[in-house]
Amino acid sequence: MQTVKITSIVAAPLFGASPKGGWSAEIKPDDSVHALVAVHTDQGITGHGSVFTDGRLVAAAIDVLRPLYEGENALEPERVTEKLNQNSFWMGRGGTLTHAISGIDIALWDILGKVTGQPVARLLGGIYRRRVQPYCSLLMQEPARMAETLRAAHESGFRAFKIGWGPFGRAMDTRLDEAIVRAARDAVGPTAKLFVDAGASDAHWPHGLKWALRTAHMLKDYDVGWFEEALRPDAFEDYRELRRASPVPIAGGEVLTRRQAFLPWIVHGALDIVQPDVTKVGGISEQRRIAWLADEFGVKYIGHGWNTAIGLAADLQLAAAMPLTDLVEYIGGSPYVDAICATSPVLDEEGFLAVPDRAGLGVELDREQLARYTPNPAVLFSDRARRARARPLRA
């Protein structure tokens, strides 16, 4: 079959269980900051994507883009996505439209996998690994509570952890910063991987390069694997200096969108680890190009698509298709990750997740579960798609 035409694209905002982000203007559980996308086709095959943006904005962007995607061939994700990018530049590059295109692109790769009967990782060029270690991503708390939360995550099977945001850096108390990190290291033990995210993309971050340098040296004492978002996201020259002087690797990039925005950060050595978010950077097509560019310059790629089970599935497929990507982010305790699919992610005995080897992204949304978090989950499903799921189409 040469053509599978797009008939409609819909968005379903998620409400009711949005996890805290640690932001100064904190979100509420009923706020929509995540949305799922479904691309429906004339062959009854439906693909799913995820967007880290308010669902109302995603729905509006899909409506704006409709003339560009209606009737297009869903089997050509990179070409269709680039068509959307190239023909919407005058409405703004890198904002809501790019975020929405991310979800569409993920869904198109899901469709291509379902039609060919292949996991997305193989379609991206090949499978380097069958499992990936997730790091449990948790908000920072006061030391005693931080230790309690991490011990519970460790007991559930995680062996890698990232703590971030919260009072770290915000309390203007370097002793508290160190006490939090010390409590975290003590809680997870000396062999677990531990990463720290300052969350400097939050509103009005109060610190600069000297604080970041001092903090990086403190983190080295606790064997922290990387220091993430240590500076404001536009402090490019300071990031370059920090990377040169820091004793721990410097990570960032989650606020950037479009591959062009990543070029100076990678080419001019501002990061040791680049972290594009597949659910807002432009989708799998864009993320793959960024990841391979980073690889050419010796910069490690670790994805940031942690916000829903679909985002996690996309990151697992991308991690499997890249030679050196050994970690994925996993937000701890979010029903949008753990409770919207027919099967929940399961850690193996060593704290790894298997990369789904089913067709497409390899995960299946659960309509009944989704009914708890979105007003009309039916828009995400097609009866014909369920019958044809994971079966290759033949000419």
Mean pLDDT for the stretch of residues 75-84: 98
Element (H, E) at 314: helix 309-321
Question: Which amino acid, residue 157?
Answer: G
Which residue carries 């890198």 as its tokens?
94
Rounded-to-integer distance, Cα 250 and Cα 391, Å: 43
- Is the pLDDT at 389 greater than 70, yes or no? no
Q: Which of 106-110, 329-333, 378-382, 383-387 has the lowest mean pLDDT?
A: 383-387
pLDDT in tens, 44-66: 999 999 999 999 999 999 999 99
In the chain, the percentage of residues whose pLDDT exceeds 70 is 97
pLDDT in tens, 89-98: 888 889 999 9
Quick one: which of 261, 237, 239 has its CA closest to 252?
239
Q: Where are the domains of the chain?
A: 6-118+362-387, 122-354
3-state SS record for 120-148? HHHHCCCCCCCEEEEEEEEECCCHHHHHH
SS3 251: strand
Per-residue model confidence (pLDDT) at position 388: 42
Per-residue model confidence (pLDDT) at position 384: 52
Rounded-to-integer distance, Cα 239 and Cα 99, Å: 25
CB 63 within 8 A of CB 47: no
DSSP 276-295: --TTTTT-HHHHHHHHHHHH
- Please, what is the Cα angle at 280 between 161 and 212, to 5 degrees? 50
- Is the pLDDT at 393 greater than 80, yes or no? no
Sheet containing 34-41: order of strands: 6-14, 34-41, 47-51
Torsion region of 333: left, alpha or beta (phi above 0 gives left; psi -120 to 50 gives alpha): left
- Is the pLDDT at 140 greater than 60, yes or no? yes
| C-alpha distances in Å from residue 282, one per residue of 27, 76, 87, 140, 380 | 24, 15, 14, 29, 21
Per-residue model confidence (pLDDT) at position 307: 86
DSSP 163-229: EESTTTTTS--HHHHHHHHHHHHHHH-SSSEEEEE--TTSTT----HHHHHHHHHHHHTTT-S-EES
The length of the chain is 395
Tokens of 300: 């490690």
Per-residue model confidence (pLDDT) at position 383: 55
pLDDT in tens, 183-233: 999 999 999 999 999 999 999 999 999 999 999 999 999 999 999 999 999
- Name the superfamily (CATH) of residues 122-354: Enolase-like C-terminal domain (3.20.20.120)
Element (H, E) at 301: strand 300-301
Reported CATH class of domain 6-118+362-387: alpha beta
Q: Which of 128-132, 246-250, 272-276, 384-388 has the lowest mean pLDDT?
A: 384-388
CB count in 10 Å sphere of residue 7: 15
Per-residue model confidence (pLDDT) at position 385: 43
Supply the pTM of this predicted model: 0.95
Q: How many helices (H) and strands (E) does the chain have?
A: 14, 12
- Is the pLDDT at 355 greater than 50, yes or no? yes
Relative orientation angle of helices 96-116 and 284-296, to the nearest 10 degrees:
100
| C-alpha distances in Å from residue 213, one per residue of 50, 206, 224 | 35, 14, 14
Mean pLDDT for the stretch of residues 314-324: 98
Mean pLDDT for the stretch of residues 351-376: 96
Maximum separation of any 2 CA atoms in the chain, in Å? 66
- Please, what is the Cα angle at 69 between 64 and 71, to 5 degrees? 135
Rounded-to-integer distance, Cα 216 and Cα 196, Å: 10
- Is the pLDDT at 287 greater than 50, yes or no? yes
- Is the pLDDT at 11 greater than 60, yes or no? yes
Q: Quote the mean pLDDT of the chain.
A: 94
- Is the pLDDT at 144 greater than 50, yes or no? yes
- What residues pair up with 35 in beta bridges, in sequence order? 13, 51
Quick one: which of 332, 377, 344 has its CA closest to 13?
377
